[in-house]
Chains A and B, each alone.
Chain A
Amino acid sequence: MSIIDLTSMGASQSDLRNEINNRLSKLQDEISEYCYQCAKCTSGCEAHKLLELEPHKIVALLKRGLINELVNSDVIWTCMTCLKCRERCPQRVAPVEVLFALKNMAVASGKQIPGKYTAMLQSILTMGLIQDIQQISTRSNTTVKREDLNLPPLSKPVDATKFQAGIMKIAMEKI
C-alpha cells in the first residue's frame, strides 16, 4: 500500500470527491443563508497579516460556486488553522472548515499535495506517527535520543498491517 493509492485520481477517488462535494454544497447553503460579508474573519485572520489570506472572500467565492477556481488556488494552503474565524463569526460560519474542505478536494482531485504532507502521511501509514524518534541537540551541544532519557518505548500501532488496512479503507470505501 502506498501514498499513491490515497491520493491518486483512481476510480475510488470519485466517491471521495462526491463526498467532499456534498460537504462543500452544505457549506455553500449555510453561507448563502448566514454570511453577510462583515469580514470579521479576515480582520482577525493570522494568515491575513502574513500571507494575505482573506477568509471572507473565500466564503464569497464559494457562495458564487467558484469551487474549481478555489481548489486550484495556492491561497487555500496558507491557512494557519488558528480558528479565530470560526470562534468569532457573528453568524457562526466557519471559514476554516471551508478551507479544509477545499484542500481535501484539491487532494482528492489529484492536485499535487504541497510540502511535507505526503511524507507525514507515508510515515503514519508505515509506523502510525508523523515521524519516528529524532536525535536532538541539548543546549550544551550534545545529542540525545529518547532511549538516553529513560523514557518508555513509543506507543504506536501494534499490528501495522491491520492499522494500514483501516486507513486504506477510508480511501477506498464506497459511500
Chain B
Amino acid sequence: MKKKYALFPGCLMPTEQYAYELSIRETLPLLGVDLVDVEGFSCCGEPMKSVNQLLTLYLSARNLAIAEKHHLDLFAPCAMCHMSLSETHYILQKNPSMKERVNSMLAAEGLSYTGTGQIVHTVDLLHDHIGIETIKQHVKKPLTNLKIAAHYGCHLIRPSEIGRPVNSEDPQKIEKLLKAFGAEPVQDYPQKLDCCGAPLLANLPESALTKTGQKLQAIQEQGIQALVDVCPWCHKMFDSKQTKAGETVAAKLDIPVVYLTQLLGLALGLNADKLGLHLNLSPVEKLGLKEGK
C-alpha cells in the first residue's frame, strides 16, 4: 500500500543541507512512499524556544495545522523539528485551554489544529512503517565491508515522555537498518547518546564546535571508521564543520559522515551524485562504496 506524507522540510535541510533532501527524495518513493510538497510551512519554532516558548508552540501548531488542512500525515526528517512538533502535539492534547488559545491565533491564517495527524521521522518511517523486510527486498547493492557507527541525535531520542521514535537509552533501529543495507553497524560506543553541539551554534559557536570535535575525536580514537546521522543539524556539525571542529580539539579529524538515506540510496543501487554524496565535506571516498548507475 502506498504511504503518503507531507514532507516538512524545516529550515536547515532545504536551505543548505541539500544532500539529505536529495537522498530522501530519491530513495523513499522507491520504497512506496509518496512525498507531497505542501506550500506555506515555516520554521518549526524550536530555534526560538529560548526567546519565547509560546512562539515555538504557535509555529509548531501552525505547521501541524497546514498538514491537517491537506489531510496528510507529516514527515519531518529533522530531529529537532520532529521533537518540536511532537512536543507541541503532546502539550496541546494535554492542555485544552492552550489548544484553544493557539487555535484562536491560527484562525487569522484560516488554520486550525486538532491533532489528528501522525508525525514521523526518517528512522521510524524506514524501520516501523516501511519495515526491514521490505527494505531488504529492495536492496540491490549490499553495503558489504562497511563498518559504521550511528549517531541518533538528542532530539530524536529524548524526552521519552512526549513519545520518541526510538528508545531513549538504548536506541537500536538505525543499527537494524544498517544491517538490512548489508553494512556492519558498530553496536555501541560510549559517546553514542551524546550531543553534536549544534544547539549552541546560535550564541556560543566555539563551544558548539568543541563539543563536535570532542565526540568525533573520541570516535576516531576508538578506530571507528565512519559515522551515520539522521538530522541536518547533527550533520552540519559532524560533516560540514568537521575540519573546524578538529581545530578546536587540536586533532586532524578524518571521519566520513553520511546521512542514513544516502546509504539507503547506495544500497538501492542509486548513483552517488543523485544522493548528494558530492556535497558531503567529510572524506566519504574513504568508505570505498561502489555506486550504482
**Are the C-beta atoms of B18 and A82 separated by less than 8 Å?**
no
Q: B204 contacts which chain A residues (CB < 8 A)? A: 51, 77-78, 115
- Tell me which of B49, B62, B105, B210 contacts A50 (CB under 8 A): B210
Given contacts A117-B50, A149-B22, contact A140 B278 (CB under 8 A): yes
Complex-state Cα separation, A137 to B243, whole angstroms: 14
**Are the C-beta atoms of B51 and A103 separated by less than 8 Å?**
yes
Q: B53 contacts which chain A residues (CB < 8 A)? A: 100-101, 104
Shortest C-beta distance, A128 to chain B (Å), equals: 4
Chain A 100-132 per-residue mask, 1 if CB under 8 angstroms from chain B, else 0 = 110110011000011111001100100011111
Q: Any chain B CB within 8 A of the CB of A66?
A: no
Shortest C-beta distance, A175 to chain B (Å), equals: 9
Q: Any chain A CB within 8 A of the CB of B40?
A: yes
Q: A152 contacts which chain B residues (CB < 8 A)? A: 37
Complex-state Cα separation, A170 to B197, whole angstroms: 30
Given contacts A144-B279, A149-B276, contact A158 B40 (CB under 8 A): yes
- Tell me which of B15, B197, B200 contacts A133 (CB under 8 A): B15
Given contacts A155-B9, A162-B108, contact A136 B207 (CB under 8 A): no
Q: Any chain B CB within 8 A of the CB of A139?
A: yes
Q: Any chain B CB within 8 A of the CB of A83?
A: yes
Chain B 180-199 per-residue mask, 1 if CB under 8 angstroms from chain A, else 0 = 00000000000001110101
Shortest C-beta distance, A95 to chain B (Å), equals: 12
Shortest C-beta distance, A113 to chain B (Å), equals: 6
Shortest C-beta distance, B170 to chain A (Å), equals: 12
Chain A 154-172 per-residue mask, 1 if CB under 8 angstroms from chain B, else 0 = 1111110011011101110
Interface residues on B, range: 35 or more
Q: Any chain B CB within 8 A of the CB of A146?
A: yes
Complex-state Cα separation, A157 to B195, whole angstroms: 31
Q: Any chain B CB within 8 A of the CB of A6?
A: yes
Q: A159 contacts which chain B residues (CB < 8 A)? A: 109
- Tell me which of A86, A155, A166 contacts B41 (CB under 8 A): A155
Q: A155 contacts which chain B residues (CB < 8 A)? A: 9, 14, 37-41
**Are the C-beta atoms of A120 and B47 separated by less than 8 Å?**
yes
Q: Any chain A CB within 8 A of the CB of B11?
A: yes
**Are the C-beta atoms of A129 and B11 separated by less than 8 Å?**
yes
Q: How many A-B residue pairs have CB under 8 A?
A: 182
Interface size on A, residues (CB 8 A): 64
- Tell me which of B22, B197, B202 contacts A117 (CB under 8 A): B202
- Tell me which of A83, A116, A133, A169 contacts B108 (CB under 8 A): A169
Q: A33 contacts which chain B residues (CB < 8 A)? A: none
Given contacts A100-B50, A124-B43, contact A151 B14 (CB under 8 A): yes
**Are the C-beta atoms of B49 and A100 separated by less than 8 Å?**
yes
Q: Which of B158, B205, B284 has the most CB of A within 10 A?
A: B158
Residue of A nearest to B6 (CB): A155
**Are the C-beta atoms of B105 and A130 separated by less than 8 Å?**
no
**Are the C-beta atoms of B22 and A166 separated by less than 8 Å?**
no
Given contacts A134-B16, A155-B38, contact A167 B55 (CB under 8 A): yes
Shortest C-beta distance, A129 to chain B (Å), equals: 4
**Are the C-beta atoms of B279 and A138 separated by less than 8 Å?**
yes
Q: Any chain A CB within 8 A of the CB of B168?
A: yes
Chain B 55-73 per-residue mask, 1 if CB under 8 angstroms from chain A, else 0 = 1001100100000000000
Q: Which of B10, B154, B276, B280 has the most CB of A within 10 A?
A: B154
Chain B 237-280 per-residue mask, 1 if CB under 8 angstroms from chain A, else 0 = 00010000000000000000000000000000000000010111
Residues of B bordering A, CB below 8 Å? 9-12, 14-16, 18, 21-22, 25, 37-43, 47-55, 58-59, 62, 105-106, 108-109, 154-155, 158-161, 168-169, 193-195, 197, 199-205, 207, 210-211, 214, 240, 276, 278-281, 284
Q: Can you give 13 contacting A-B residue pairs, CB < 8 Å?
A: A80-B199, A83-B159, A120-B47, A129-B43, A131-B15, A134-B16, A146-B18, A154-B15, A155-B14, A155-B40, A157-B42, A165-B108, A166-B62
Please give 13 more A-B residue pairs, beta carbons under 8 A apart, in addition to A101-B53, A124-B42: A77-B203, A80-B154, A80-B197, A114-B203, A116-B202, A124-B48, A129-B14, A130-B11, A130-B47, A133-B15, A151-B14, A167-B58, A170-B52
